[in-house]
Chain A
Amino acid sequence: MSVRNPVVTALKTWLIPRRYGVMRWSYSLQRISGVAITLYFVLHIGETANVIGGSQVWSIPSYEYARQVWTETVEFLSNPFFDAGLAVLAFLIFFHTSNGVRLFLTHFGILLGKPHRPEYPYHPASMTKAQLTIFWVSILLAVAALLYSLNIFFKVILP
């Protein structure tokens, strides 16, 4: 029997949500989106530092210098690759927020089923219809945000 690296096993359980039901998908998506959004957040703070001329600026720069650096930044970032990335981020942010509301409610015991004697086929009491509904509403909101941003960036759906 091979000895498995526990870190690899842990990563597999959260990156491969198949065969465990819809709540495992919720768990995986919540984590993947969270990590992706945090990464974007750090880059976004670096990117917006160009409003004042860049991260290395520690005093008030000249207005024209800041204006020039920001205009160049916007030009550099306005290409299909970054726009597609932002559209994916819109999906992840809206899913994470809406599904996060479900987790918030769950944490305080709202919308959780009542405990009962375990009987075949062992449906967990916590997986109520309201829980599943909020998960699917989160997916819908995320898809809507994806389509909205694709339309903003690429004008593909509406003129």
Chain B
Amino acid sequence: MSREARIMMLHYITGLVIIVAGAIHLATVFLVSPYEESLRFDNTPWSVINVYRNSLLAGSLEALLLAVAFHGFNGLRVILLELHQGRTWTRAVNVAVTVAAIAVVINGTKTIFIASML
């Protein structure tokens, strides 16, 4: 498999991960308790802090973060590489998209990590 084919395969795998982890995320916010209660910081069973303190839910949020960061930024990369072609452009897009994805993952992971210890 070429590099681009491997990336596309990962695009589909992360898509499947997002279906599962995204369903868990939407369920914890909308289905298992009223939306207003899910948004509270604490004092409700499915409040923000209780979700982060549950290691299974926090783990699935981390999986969702990694999968969406890859899937979303790879999607942007594909669109940008389709709009214009060239070696410099390809390298610039690849670097920019990778840096942005890593920045978002670091920020999100930090939130999950610190919130679980609050």
B72 touches A41 (CB 8 A): yes
* Residue contact A71 to B15, C-beta cutoff 8 Å: no
* Residues of chain B contacted by A49 (CB below 8 angstroms): 107-108, 110-111
Interface centre among A7, A49, A52, A153 (most CB of B within 10 A): A52
Name B's interface SS: helix
Contact A48 B111 (CB under 8 A): yes
| Chain A count of residues within 8 A CB distance of the other chain | 38
User: A107–B16 Cα gap in the complex (Å)?
Assistant: 14
> For the complex, what is the distance from the CA of A42 to the CA of B108, rounded to whole Å?
9
A27 CB to nearest chain B CB (Å): 11
| Segment from A18-26, A56-64, A114-122, A129-137 that makes contact with B | A56-64
CA of A48 to CA of B65 in the docked complex: distance in angstroms?
12
Any B CB within 8 A of the CB of A91: no
Question: Given the interface contacts A7-B83, A74-B39, does A45 sit within 8 Å of B108 by beta carbon?
Answer: yes
Chain B 98-112, CB-CB to A under 8 Å as 1, else 0, gives 001000100110110
Total B residues in contact with A, Cβ cutoff 8 Å:
37
Interchain nearest-CB distance for B92 vs A (Å): 15
CB under 8 Å from chain B, chain A span 6-54: 6-7, 10-11, 31, 34-35, 37-38, 41-42, 45-46, 48-49, 51-52
Complex-state Cα separation, A97 to B21, whole angstroms: 12
**Cβ–Cβ contact B83 & A11, under 8 A:** yes
Do A152 and B35 have beta carbons less than 8 Å apart?
yes
Question: Judging by beta carbons under 8 Å apart, are A58 and B110 in contact?
Answer: yes
A44 smallest CB distance to B (angstroms)? 9
Interface membership of chain B positions 35-55, coded 1 if the CB is closer than 8 angstroms to chain A and 0 otherwise: 100011110000011001000
A152 to B84: give the CA distance in the assembly, Å. 42
- Nearest CB to that of B105 among chain A residues? A45
How far apart are A42's CB and chain B's nearest CB, in angstroms?
6
In Å, the complex CA distance between A41 and B103 comes to 13
User: A6-B84, A104-B12 in contact; A38/B118 too (CB < 8 A)?
Assistant: no
Please give the distance in Å from B118's CB to the nearest CB on chain A: 6
B82 interface hit (Cβ, 8 Å): yes
B30 touches A152 (CB 8 A): yes
Q: Please report B residues at the A interface, Cβ cutoff 8 Å.
A: 8, 12, 15-16, 18-19, 22, 30, 35, 39-42, 48-49, 52, 65, 68-69, 72-73, 75-76, 79, 82-84, 100, 104, 107-108, 110-111, 114-115, 117-118
